[in-house]
Amino acid sequence: METQELINKRRIFGIISHPDAGKTTLTEKLLLHGGAIREAGTVRARKNSKYAKSDWMEIEKQRGISVTSSVMQFEYKDKVISIMDTPGHNDFGEDTYRILTSVDSAVMVIDAAKGIEAQTKKLFQVCSMRGIPIFTFINKLDRQAMDPLDSMQELEDVLGMPSVAVTWPIGCGKEFEGVYDRLENEVHLFRKEQIVKLDKDGVHSNILEGLLSATNLDNLRNEMDLLDGAGNFFDLEKIKAGKLSPVFFGSALADFGVTEFLEHFLKMSPAPGKRKTISGEVEPTDETFTGFIFKIQANMNPNHRDRLAFLRICSGTFERGMNVTLSRTGKQIKLSQSTHLMANERETVDIAYAGDVIGIYDSGNFQIGDTLTAGKEKIFFEPLPTFPPELFCRVSAVNSLKGKNFQKGVHQLAQEGAIQVYTNEYNEVILGAVGVLQFEVFEYRLVNEYNTDIRMDHIDFTVARWVKTTDTDELKKYQNSRCMLVFDHYERPVLLFTNQYALKSFQERYEDVKLVDALDVTEEV
Ligand code: G4P
């Protein structure tokens, strides 16, 4: 098969939602349709217990949430689809954000009764910031739901994103009778499992009389008139540019509306496209193999102490055993151990293409954001953004004899990007996170993997700003109870402030000091 064809077949999307909106159930149904799993309950089992095989996932089990994220690949018709699961919880971490830097589109699952919840909003902002197309699946129509017109309005009001309904619900809860597919002009009946093709009169066609309850039909006609008159028009270009969100309604649990969603999604979502590098762009069809690492997960199997780097392939063909160059260090690395990331079943990958995500076993060479290339030219993909932490704590080993283990753990977790690590002028270790769960994971892993009990004290800082200077002696003078100087993992100076007010008064006082919001990981000050 031509490379172009192989690439066009690929779709890679992140699935985001507030907990309990139905992300796991929808993922499971998609995998079932693709034949990747044979029975319902497989993904759920993973969520609940089976997956807790590897120890540090105990936290997931205890908290009932997904701390890590995995990639699930399946084939549907002529497409190869990769779903990137993202942890969706108040306590989410930087990982969640980074996953979204590696996908080409996102699917947002919303509970039809609850509407948009805080967490979904945050993740949505990350997608829209990066121009990633967002598909909305409004779930649980088999239960009592909000008025669908209100749901649409909420999308626009809360997320500020214009949306267009592709399918539309006919009733909800006990009265749920199916969905109307506006693009195909078909009514899909829920309990009767029947598809009714409509004529040019659409929902006003006589065919529907007697097929739907009078109230549902009446509502459907009114709602369609309203949407046709005042709603947004379907515009594929806008959808692909992430400026218009197509909306689908259904019930993941009842597996209704899911196929409709999947079919449309595959037509509307972008295939892997070009990626920016520091000096230009890489096309997926370029022959030279290139890719970047967006996630590193260590000690997935406590017996092996392995580290797995998640690699998004951007161009060329990956062949197991190939030699690549790690751009950051110039080091040649043989990629001999590679794996699919389908749930917890690890299967060796021999060949993979642009638009695939694979796992590479790593003995400590890689960092998040690293570019790998099989070419002679040194290239760097645009650095992944560092998200400014808002929570900080001071951490130390309870037993000073364990200092070496402690340092090793801190260093490795910082390299993995599990948490931000800073040191201050007294060599104290300060951790920074975007979600408190990151602290919990940190503590759990130091105790369990590095055999070190730690003491963690929350400190009252909420804002971090990198400073564009090399004169650190000068910086020390700025410190007071509301401002602390620390150094990040790359030894770049960072000022921590207690709150926005402290930051503002600092800026007013020292106008000449250039503060930067969130520096890219590899950018030098
Ligand atoms: P999440 O991954 O987004 O956290 O949500 P998940 O799929 O785990 O679903 C959360 C709960 O909502 C589950 O019920 C699930 O069965 C239910 N659910 C998901 N989709 C639908 C739907 O379309 N309709 C209805 N009525 N319920 C749905 P649970 O009681 O927490 O778990 P379980 O006992 O069913 O496993």
The structural domains of the chain, ordered by start, are 3-70+77-268 (3.40.50.300), 275-373 (3.40.50.300), 391-516 (3.30.70.3280)
Please report the pLDDT score of residue 49 as a whole number. Answer: 40
Q: Which of 16, 18, 23, 25 to mutate to test the pocket of ligand 1 (most atoms within 8 A of CB)?
A: 25
- pLDDT at 349 (0 to 100): 81
For the whole model, what pTM was predicted? 0.81
Is the alpha carbon torsion for 343, 349, 351, 354 positive or negative?
positive
Task: Calculate how far, in angstroms, residue 421's C-alpha sits from the geometric centre of ligand 1.
Answer: 37
Structure tokens, 200: 């040019």
Q: Which atom of ligand 1 is closest in space to residue 27's alpha carbon?
A: 7
Measured in angstroms, how far is the CA atom of residue 48 from the centroid of ligand 1? 12
Among 310, 321, 313, residue whose Cα is nearest residue 361: 310
- Cβ-Cβ contacts under 8 Å for 409 (sequence gap 6 or more): 445, 446, 449, 450, 452
| Residue 446 neighbours by CB under 8 Å, 6+ apart | 406, 409, 410, 413, 452, 453, 454
pLDDT at 395: 96
| Maximal CA-CA distance, the chain | 82
Q: Ligand 1: which of 48, 108, 253, 256 to mutate, judged by most atoms within 8 Å of the beta carbon?
A: 253
Supply the pLDDT for residue 112: 95
Tokens of 442: 């940190």
Q: Collect the ranges in the chain with pLDDT lower than 70.
A: 36-70, 87-93, 118-119, 298-306, 340-347, 385-386, 518-525
Instruction: Please work out, in degrees rounded to the nearest 5, the angle formed at the alpha carbon of residue 389 by the alpha carbons of 394 and 310.
Output: 105
Task: Point out the ligand 1 atom lying closest to the alpha carbon of residue 48.
Answer: 36
Ligand 1 midpoint to CA 26 (Å):
9
pLDDT given at position 524: 47
Considering only CA atoms, which residue is closest to atom 22 of ligand 1? 140
Report the separation in Å between the CA atom of 110 and the middle of ligand 1, taken as the mean of its atom positions.
Answer: 12
State residue 332's pLDDT score.
Answer: 95
Q: Report DSSP state, residue 462.
A: -
Buried/exposed 359-377: b ≥16 CB within 10 Å, e otherwise: bbbbeebbbbbbbbbbbee
- Find the 25 Cα to ligand 1 centroid distance in Å: 6
Distance 251 CA to ligand 1 centre (A): 10
Q: What residue owns the CA closest to ligand 1's atom 28?
A: 253
Position 36 scores a pLDDT of 65
